[in-house]
Structure 1
């Protein structure tokens, strides 16, 4: 499920600009489940939509509920964010170390909870989470904008997912006969320009073969290389005719 199972839960957000910016940040990093608990603004207002830019679909699909327990229904893990220091025994963790925990049960919904812009989450609301994170900021100005806090956490979550790479079956490697045609074309051109000499051509071409073999050439790459050789041959021909 990856990031698709993570819900971003906003408790009583008051600013439509913040809500729109949060939708945009979510889409930037591959999250799309936005849950609004008793929002104090219209998430579909013109202001919110303007800030969302190309993430209007995140706002349009946002789920609105009355209570935090309703937002967490079905979740097996929940992390709450807080900017305040508490005298609890439970530590406040760094998002980078705590947030990967939300993804450790693939296929199971999890939630990342954010509080109000002006006062965050109440102690009662914090009790619904199993772990708590605080974004480290400069002590001279520790307060973060809500949308900024969400964007930072979404970024950290996205870093937990390895980038998609094509599988070997999706890569069209060049067949050996096509690469061989390229080698013949390359050798002919290098002999023509004097880079190779007939008595050393075989040993030099072995070096080129070793180099290209390490590269595991794809069909489109061989086509590009052959195109370069053809252009060089054309340029040489035109120069000789001048």
Structure 2
């Protein structure tokens, strides 16, 4: 398959339930020039007869699909990720239209477009790994879209966002000053949570909800590789200061008893 900008976008299905949907997704991906199908903890047989029947001439997309047990693993080496959601889920998400947001995935590669399972969509925990969020507007009479239909709409918008003269352009690697990878950001979040717990800003029972807000903040800011390295350097210095103070306190001589 051609090495186009579209081919660098991963279509990530998180815990898909229906093999017919997975097959239909593979077919519409091939229709629109996308080739990277990623399945996270699939709940169906993606290489079975039903999936192959729906994929038709896109069986190669199914056969080359990458399988992962978790979403962070599926996003390794990606620098940009957009998640699809039908509602805000009380995370104060800024929801955008596919036509507005999706071209951003083509400005820097590799990137990912994430879809949730058919029955409930992406969880709040899944959403924290994305930087932007899209909602496909639909009629209030029946707002819920089928998974394959949602993927089809997004793949079409991605295809339309590439001009005829640009479809065969080989994407260039990210420059150093471009956005940090999602993997690098995840390492920063792990270190940030550890430090905030040590200094008492976070408590174990509130860490998850507080860190979700920090993730939204930094994901929205899209820090560069250099900026994330600077932030991690600050955290490392804080950890060093904490350990030095702890050592000084433990080595301090005990006060002598008064007679």
What TM bracket, shorter-length normalisation?
A: 0.5 to 0.7
What do the CA deviations read for 1:139-198 (whole angstroms, capped 9, x no partner)? 111000000000000000001111149xxxxxxxxxxxxxxxxxxxxxxxxxxxxxxxxx
Aligned residue for 2:103, secondary structure, equals helix
TM-score (norm 2): 0.61
2:176 equivalent in structure 1: none
Counterpart contact for 2:89–2:124, Cα < 8 Å: no
Largest Rg, 1 or 2:
1
* 1:88 corresponds to: 91
Measure how far apart 1:84 and its partner are: 2.0
Query: What SS does the corresponding residue of 2:57 show, helix, strand or coil?
Result: helix
Deviates more, 1:88-97 or 1:132-141: 88-97
Q: Do 2:81 and 2:131's aligned partners in 1 also have CA atoms closer than 8 Å? A: yes
**Cα distance in 1 for residues equivalent to 2:89 and 2:63:** 36
1:1-242 matches, within 5 Å, as 1-105=4-108, 108-164=109-165
Q: Please identify runs of 4+ aligned residues in structure 1 that moved more than 4 A.
A: none
CA shift at 1:89, angstroms?
A: 3.2
Shift of 1:88: 3.4
SS in 2 for 1:132: strand
| CA displacement, residues 111-152 of structure 1 (integer Å, 9 cap, x when unaligned) | 000001000000011000000000000011100000000000
Residue deviations 1:5-38 (CA, integer Å, cap 9, x gap): 1000000001000000000000000001000000
**Given that residues 82 and 133 in structure 2 are in contact (C-alpha distance below 8 angstroms), is that contact kept between their aligned partners in structure 1?**
yes
Backbone CA RMSD of aligned residues: 1.1
Cα distance in 2 between the residues matched to 1:90 and 1:70: 23
Count of matched residue positions in the alignment of Structure 1 and Structure 2: 163
Residue aligned with 1:120, SS: coil
Does the residue aligned with 2:27 lie in a helix, a strand or coil?
A: helix
Contact 2:12 2:113 in 1 (8 A): yes
The offset of 1:86, in angstroms, is 3.3
* TM-score normalised by structure 1 residue count: 0.66
